[in-house]
Chains A and B, each alone.
Chain A
Amino acid sequence: MAKMHKLIQNEYIKTWKKLATKMLFVIIVLAVAALVVISKLIDYDYKKYLNEVKNEAADFSYAIKEAETKKYPGYETDLEKYEFLLDNNVTVGSWKIQAASEAYSYEVNKKSVTYNHSAETRAKMLQSIEKDDWKKFCELMVQSMKSQGKPEDYYWEYQYRLNKNIPLPDTTADMLEYPNDVIRSVAGAKNVLADYNSEEGIGDAIDTKTHDEMIAMGMYRLENNLKVNVLENKDFLGTGEINFWTVFGQSSSLITVVGVLIIIVAGSSVANEFSQGTIKFLLINPVKRWKILVSKYVMCISMGFLMVLLLFVLSLLASMIFYGTDTLGSSCLELKNNEILIENGIAYVFKNYMYRSVEVLVMATLAFAISSVAKNSAMAIGISLFAMLMGSSITSLLKTELQQDWVRYLVFANTDFSSVINGTSGFANHSLGFAIGVVVIHLVVFFLIAWDGFTKREI
């Protein structure tokens, strides 16, 4: 009789007009504010560090002392090198330190394929350092390597910088900035691979696939001039640097806060009608009980979704306001089966939001079920909060410490869809279909429990 949307409207009015509900939304705003404050603290520390090392003269006193006391083979050459660097006022993070090593290390490490430059080349290298001429140094490296018949991988960086006219970094900050960071990671991977593939077999055993992928990804970014890969900046742990994407990406972890809040809403929606005594007035209306239950469930779940959306929008705005919009159009690049998948960065973060919301949905439904069976909001909220905050830890403990594979059937092992997709869930043969199946079964069971408890209950 009564239309469903009117029942849902009722539930929204009842819930929204409570001061407590408004506070829940305030908490979301506060959570975003806290995220920004924390990001600014990390950013401040990081910037301070970069500033400190920016013009800091490289300090070789420890290395000099080491050489003087231990007198290892070739220590005289090293002392000479340090003296030379000190004379030239080299700063921390400068390319000159690496260049000097090339120039002075002819006797130290015979094993290394890179240190076999001619005396003439080495002298010219020292000159290039003194003249602060990175181009000259790059040219010398390329020429020397070529003349020795070394694989191109060893001198790729120098060739690349010459071609593109990208100076070698002079400070730590330079070194960590695009494109130097990407060039460095590609060059590093190329070196490791070259060592591994060399006839001398000097490289360590490595996972060549990972290095190939690193190179492919880096080259793609360099070719397309992609300053930021959202995948590498998706949270505070990704890079030392704090930018728009690290803050926006990290905000998805605040969905746990939404989880807590919506468990409170779902855990009280039925139980409060009992504790206030309003349940009798609700149920003497000419509306079937299941309709009332469904309207309450729809209210809880849709309000949870609204909270997630609010969190998303607020985080996006906060990140834009505090970290600028320059990189807003950046993409998330991911290598899968030797193919680079490109996804809009904002869409990628939203997808992460949705993945993380699965657990919230399950726990809110659990709270709703307990609330309508036990008529007790404290119990419903307590149990569901415990399940949400501890469930996955206990499950992974059972899995890793006690090798209990059956825990794969627990809902906690299946709510993290992104780890299932990436194959990092910790369970063998864990398919997305299986995870979705387990989650759906739990949702249905929880809802049926609520249904049975509510529609047959005697008031």
Chain B
Amino acid sequence: MEENIKKNEGSAKKAALSIKNLNKSLGRRQILHDISFDAYEGEVFGFLGPNGAGKTTTIKLITGLLNIDEGNIEIGGYSLKKNYEKALGSIGGIVENPEMYKHLTGMENLKQYARMRDNITNERIEEVVKIVGLSNRINEKIKRYSLGMRQRLGVAQALLHRPRLLLLDEPTNGLDPAGIKELRDILKKLAHEENICVLVSSHLMSEMELMCDRVGIINNGKMVGVYTVEEMIRESSGDNAEYIYNVDNTEKVSALLGNAEYRISDENYIEVTFSGDDTEEKLAELNRKLIENGVKLYTVSPKEKKKLEDVFIEITQSGGVQIG
């Protein structure tokens, strides 16, 4: 973790959100222990943790819904404690469910939020409606909206005032796969093209993998670490490459393997593990040898990699692993 922070400080990216030594208790229970991390403009930052880890509490602290016990939150350089209105002025967000005024239309809801923020023109409202793809249904009452539509309206509401930091708490909840993909594309576009910092919380690693540039993992109210998605993927694949050979004679194959590890799983199947660098070269070499030695090679397929989900579970359970 230390290393990660150093690396990030080295880059020229500007922190849209900077959290330092955040502590929070609700009742007698301490929910957050010394949370610190930065999220930068132009990235989608995944805030990942199992249910009850403290994600929503952290987001509520950032949005001022909860009061900070200890520590400091800066948004776009403004301290939330000292400069509440300015700090909140550069945040847009959805906390928990996208609850809107059901008796108002989508447009009327957006106008409510527009009046509470500075300089929002009707053109801007139309623009965000277009961004989230609600133009056809914007004049319908919220009672008639599906959860997915409300989620999109929530995003529209959050984008109205061109925030530097967009906070979305479990935004894919209740969305169908198509909706999730659309949302993912919207968020990526916002981060990479409009240089917004998008912070997305989730308990699903698979979702984060496709959407995020970096992932901060929280467990039991403690920050486990912040990783780039590439780091996570490398961890999941490890340094070894495993392949499953479907052949007529597994005995012959094992004899030709040399020092590579293997496991005969079936009469016609053998799993081979190549270690070290140049695993692909080693694979090609073995294939050549097999054919030269008259082994009938039906198929070779890479063994499924360790899932990112499993890595996430490993990380949260072990309290953090050193990566990279």
Interface residues of A (CB under 8 A from B): 1-2, 6-7, 9-10, 13-14, 17-19, 276-278, 280-281, 283-288, 456, 458-459
Give A301 to B118 CA distance when docked, in angstroms. Answer: 27
25 pairs, A vs B, C-beta closer than 8 Å = A1-B118, A2-B115, A2-B117, A2-B118, A6-B115, A7-B116, A10-B112, A13-B104, A13-B111, A14-B101, A14-B112, A17-B104, A276-B99, A276-B101, A280-B95, A284-B88, A284-B91, A285-B88, A285-B113, A286-B89, A288-B84, A288-B85, A458-B66, A458-B67, A459-B65
Considering the chains assembled together, what is the distance between the CA atoms of A18 and B118 in angstroms? 26
Query: In the bound complex, what is the Cα–Cα distance between A10 and B113 (angstroms)?
Result: 9
Contact A284 B95 (CB under 8 A): yes
Beta-carbon contact of A284 and B104 below 8 Å: no
Apart from the given pairs A458-B67, A459-B65, 15 other A-B contacts in the complex at a CB distance below 8 Å: A1-B85, A1-B89, A2-B116, A2-B118, A10-B112, A13-B104, A17-B103, A17-B108, A276-B102, A280-B95, A280-B96, A284-B65, A284-B95, A286-B86, A286-B89
Bound form: Cα–Cα A458–B60 in Å: 9
| Contact yes or no, B113 A281, CB < 8 A | yes
The answer for the CA separation of A359 and B65 in the assembled complex, in Å, is: 35
B111 to chain A, nearest CB (A): 8
Residues of B within 8 A of A276 (CB): 99, 101-102
Is the CB–CB distance between A281 and B65 below 8 Å? no
Q: Would you call B63 an interface residue if the criterion is a C-beta within 8 Å of the partner chain's C-beta atoms?
A: yes
Interface of A is mostly: loop
Residue pair A280, B99 in contact (C-beta under 8 Å): yes
> CB-CB < 8 A to A6: which residues of B?
115-116
Which listed residue (A10, A277, A281, A458) contacts B157, Cβ 8 A? Answer: A281
Which among A14, A18, A280, A287 has the greatest number of chain B C-beta atoms within 10 A? A280
User: CA of A288 to CA of B97 in the docked complex: distance in angstroms?
Assistant: 22
**Chain A residues in 8 Å Cβ range of B99:** 276-278, 280-281
**Are A280 and B65 CB-contacts (below 8 A) given A2-B115, A6-B115?**
yes
How many CB-defined contacts (below 8 Å) exist between A and B? 86
Q: Is B315 an interface residue (CB 8 A)?
A: no
Residues A286 and B108 in contact, CB atoms below 8 Å apart: no
Interface membership of B148, Cβ < 8 A: no
Would you call B180 an interface residue if the criterion is a C-beta within 8 Å of the partner chain's C-beta atoms? no
Q: Within B76-91, which residues are at the interface with A (CB < 8 Å)? A: 84-89, 91
> Using Cβ atoms and an 8 Å threshold, which residues of chain A touch B100?
278, 281
Taking a contact as CB atoms under 8 Å apart, the answer to whether B117 and A285 are in contact is yes
Cβ of B116 and Cβ of A286 under 8 Å apart? yes
**Complex contact A18–B103 (CB within 8 A):** yes
Q: With a CB–CB cut-off of 8 A, which chain A residues contact B113? A: 281, 285
Contact A277 B115 (CB under 8 A): no
Which are the 8 A-B pairs with shortest beta-carbon distances?
A: A277-B99, A286-B89, A459-B65, A286-B88, A285-B116, A6-B115, A284-B63, A280-B95
Please, how many angstroms separate the alpha-carbon atoms of A18 and B161 in the complex? 27
Q: Is B179 an interface residue (CB 8 A)?
A: no
Task: Assess whether B320 is interfacial by the CB under 8 Å rule.
Answer: no
Interface residues in B111-160 by Cβ distance below 8 A to A read: 111-113, 115-118, 154, 157
Task: Give chain A nearest CB distance to B112 CB in angstroms.
Answer: 5
Task: Decide if A284 touches B66 in the complex (CB within 8 Å).
Answer: no
A283: which B residues are within 8 A, CB to CB? 63-65
Contact of A13 among B84, B108, B117 (CB under 8 A): B108
Q: How distant is the Cα of A277 from the Cα of B87 in the complex, in angstroms?
A: 23
Q: How far is the CB of A164 from chain B (nearest CB, A)?
A: 66
Given contacts A17-B103, A17-B104, whether A287 and B116 have CB atoms under 8 Å apart is yes
In the assembly, what is the distance between CA of A14 and CA of B116, in Å?
A: 14
